[in-house]
């Protein structure tokens, strides 16, 4: 009889813990959505750094709760994608790629969202050009391999979203770069060898 009563107490304790966990995650999820709205507002005001800090803070809180894998895939994807977009806009290409890789690690599969593939292509191109120009012994073979990788990402993005004008433009741009004679300088996205800031956040995160 005592054993049965003890078992019920243990069951109630686990139920209470489960309820508390669900409540905490629920509150954190609501905070996540509000934080995303705030980040979009910061970006709308032109404060890229503040928007990035907001996204990183949200991800950090979710990780501390072990809840990053529990939220809907679409929200987690938007969270990480926008971090990567802002890092890209700030010229932090390696950090942008690390953010993209985190989503692949969490999902356990290669992300086939055309938005991710487009940004992967753009990041691959920027990193390739930077590494080539910064190298004391530039290797055209490595550059061509990296450009081919960027072109593949962009082709896959265009295949999934054939009406995406950014993907169309960047894919043709990459083909022109790969077809150029060796003595012709690389073309650059945005002109003047500068990274253009992202024009908009995805519609689902706009204020």
Confidence (pLDDT) at 11: 46
Residues of the chain whose pLDDT is less than 70? 1-31, 108-111, 181-207
Alpha-helix residue ranges (DSSP H) falling in the chain: 2-44, 48-64, 73-89, 93-107, 114-134, 140-160, 165-179
What's the per-residue H, E or C state across 57-79? HHHHHHHHCCCCCCCCHHHHHHH
Residue with tokens 């390696």: 94
Confidence (pLDDT) at 203: 45
Residues 194, 180: Cα–Cα separation, whole Å: 20
User: What secondary structure letter does DSSP report for 199?
Assistant: S
Is residue 138 a contact partner of residue 116, using CB atoms and an 8 Å limit?
no
Domains of the chain by start residue, with CATH: 2-107 (1.25.40)
Residues 62, 34: Cα–Cα separation, whole Å: 14
CB atoms within 10 A of CB 122: 23
Confidence (pLDDT) at 201: 52
Is residue 2 a contact partner of residue 10, using CB atoms and an 8 Å limit?
no
The b-or-e profile of 48-60 (16+ CB within 10 A means b, else e) is: beebbebbbebbe
Residues 120, 140: Cα–Cα separation, whole Å: 21
**11-65, pLDDT tens digit by residue?**
444 444 444 444 555 555 666 777 778 888 888 888 888 989 988 888 888 888 7
Is residue 52 a contact partner of residue 87, using CB atoms and an 8 Å limit?
yes
Confidence (pLDDT) at 121: 92
Confidence (pLDDT) at 105: 81
């Amino acid at each position: 009889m005592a054993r049965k009563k003890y078992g019920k107490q243990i069951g109630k304790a686990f139920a209470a813990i489960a309820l508390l966990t669900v409540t905490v995650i629920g509150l954190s999820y609501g905070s996540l959505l509000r934080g995303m709205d705030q980040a979009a507002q910061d970006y709308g005001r032109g404060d890229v750094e503040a928007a990035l800090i907001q996204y990183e803070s949200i991800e950090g809180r979710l990780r501390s709760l072990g809840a990053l894998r529990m939220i809907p895939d679409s929200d987690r994807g938007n969270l990480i994608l926008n971090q990567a977009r802002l890092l890209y806009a700030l010229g932090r290409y390696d950090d942008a790629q690390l953010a993209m890789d985190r989503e692949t690690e969490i999902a356990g599969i290669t992300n086939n969202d055309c938005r991710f593939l487009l940004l992967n292509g753009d990041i691959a191109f920027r990193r390739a050009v930077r590494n080539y120009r910064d190298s004391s012994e530039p290797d055209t073979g490595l550059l061509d391999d990296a450009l081919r990788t960027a072109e593949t990402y962009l082709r896959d993005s265009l295949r999934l979203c054939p009406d995406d004008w950014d993907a169309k433009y960047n894919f043709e741009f990459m083909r022109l770069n790969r077809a150029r004679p060796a003595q012709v300088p690389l073309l650059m996205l945005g002109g003047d060898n500068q990274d253009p800031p992202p024009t908009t956040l995805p519609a689902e995160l706009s204020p």
